[in-house]
């Protein structure tokens, strides 16, 4: 291993600074069905051990893990219940008597069966009937003091049990969390017709995210490498809102988070599925360093175009298509595609290999193994 890549941490950090690593860095995210297939294959359900066998360089720490809602009995909380849980960390979920769940913010989900497994979909929206900001003020909003980070360094050191991994702090979202409380259709209408309402909701969410981030970076310091947030503001074809609307109402929240992280010299990764191409120059100007998940099936998101137009300005994370390619390709085709995408997006560094979203339940195990050089 070259001197510059003495650890998993170094490999990723060098790559995102556009230096060619000894090998392409790897990350991993998958639905529970894929984790189960890997557990059976490797003979262990210890997720840390599975990630080691896949030689994954990254680890994610969720803000959910440190939340203690004073109005919820801890026996009602199950960090492992969410179908979205893709890492070693858990997602805070209060389990309701009917089996549905509510997250930290009160977003209400239920589990539904698919041909390949299960997924979580929204069951109701607690702010859907709000008609004024006074109505919104009556909602029981989370507060920063619900979070206790006193054991954060111990938690991260446990993730780094036998190696030094690249640690990514997962903040959460603004736009997505807001509409998950509000109802997407109503949220979109009010964004156009009554924006003060939806901005108020995002402000309350941002208060927690900003204060938590400051506290976490003060405590963890050098143990955290990347700050990560997610906001799906795009569809397969285009943005969900106009660029002007993004810049007026959403961008200020994203920019402030990036600015807070910059004060601690932490690069920021943003997750946005779909065709976010139109916003990429804006994101670069804001100081964003890493874009996830690079969904090549979305309009204008093919890796060749992204590399040509934005290579050296923005690092890319993802790019291996989970929608059509991985479910139907052969293991050999998977290996060839992984190498091709790495050559395109990571020719001079600037790339972390992963799926274009969580690896889905319809992907054959052999293709998962081929992605990570085990087939």
pTM of the model: 0.95
Return all residues near 294 (Cβ < 8 A) that are at least 6 apart: 301, 303, 306, 316, 317, 318, 319, 345, 356
Strand extents, DSSP E, 199-265 = 226-230
Q: Compute CA distances 354 → 40, 92, 317, 337, whole Å.
A: 21, 25, 6, 12
Second CATH level (architecture) for the domain 3-74+129-371? Alpha-Beta Barrel (3.20)
Q: Is the pLDDT of residue 124 over 90?
A: yes
Q: How does DSSP assign 146-181, residue by residue?
A: GB--TTHHHHHHHHTSSS-PEEEEEEE-SHHHHHHH
65: three-class secondary structure by DSSP: helix
Mean pLDDT of 89-103: 93
* CB contact at 8 A, 234 and 271: no
The mean of the pLDDT values for the chain is 94
Share of the chain above pLDDT 70, in %: 98
* In the block, residue with structure tokens 């997924």: 119
Do the strands 351-355 and 315-320 form a parallel or antiparallel pair, or are they unpaired? parallel
Q: What is the pLDDT of residue 1?
A: 40
Q: Domain coordinates of the chain in residue numbers?
A: 3-74+129-371
- Which range among 74-88, 180-194, 198-212 shows the weakest confidence by mean pLDDT? 74-88
């Amino acid at each position: 291993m070259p001197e510059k890549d003495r650890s998993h941490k170094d490999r990723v950090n060098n790559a995102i600074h556009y230096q060619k690593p000894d090998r392409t860095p790897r990350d991993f995210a998958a639905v529970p069905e894929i984790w189960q297939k890997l557990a059976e294959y490797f003979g262990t359900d210890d997720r840390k051990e599975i990630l080691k066998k896949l030689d994954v360089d990254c680890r994610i720490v969720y803000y959910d893990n440190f939340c203690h809602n004073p109005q919820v009995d801890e026996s009602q909380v199950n960090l492992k219940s969410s179908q979205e849980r893709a890492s070693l960390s858990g997602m805070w979920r209060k389990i309701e008597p009917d089996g549905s769940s509510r997250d930290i913010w009160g977003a209400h989900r239920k589990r539904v069966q698919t041909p390949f497994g299960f997924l979580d979909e929204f069951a109701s929206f607690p702010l859907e009937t709000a008609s004024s900001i006074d109505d919104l003020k009556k909602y029981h909003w989370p507060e920063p003091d619900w979070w206790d980070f006193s054991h954060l360094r111990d938690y991260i050191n446990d993730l780094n049990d036998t190696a030094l991994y690249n640690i990514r702090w997962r903040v959460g979202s603004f736009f997505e969390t807001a509409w998950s409380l509000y109802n997407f259709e109503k949220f979109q209408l009010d964004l156009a017709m009554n924006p003060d309402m939806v901005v108020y909701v995002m402000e309350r969410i941002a208060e927690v995210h900003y204060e938590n981030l400051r506290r976490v970076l003060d405590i963890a310091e050098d143990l955290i490498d990347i700050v990560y947030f997610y906001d799906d503001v795009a569809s397969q074809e285009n943005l969900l809102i106009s660029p002007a609307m993004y810049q007026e109402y959403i961008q200020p929240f994203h920019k402030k988070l990036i600015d807070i992280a910059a004060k601690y010299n932490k690069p920021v990764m943003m997750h946005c599925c779909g065709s976010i191409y139109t916003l990429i120059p804006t994101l670069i100007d804001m100081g964003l360093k890493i874009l996830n998940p690079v969904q090549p099936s979305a309009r204008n998101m093919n890796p060749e175009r992204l590399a040509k137009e934005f290579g050296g300005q923005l690092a890319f994370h993802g790019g291996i298509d989970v929608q059509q390619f991985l479910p139907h390709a052969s293991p050999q085709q998977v290996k060839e595609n992984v190498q091709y995408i790495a050559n395109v997006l990571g020719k001079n560094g600037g790339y972390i290999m992963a799926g274009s979203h969580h690896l889905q339940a319809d992907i054959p195990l052999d293709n998962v193994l081929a992605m990570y050089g085990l087939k």
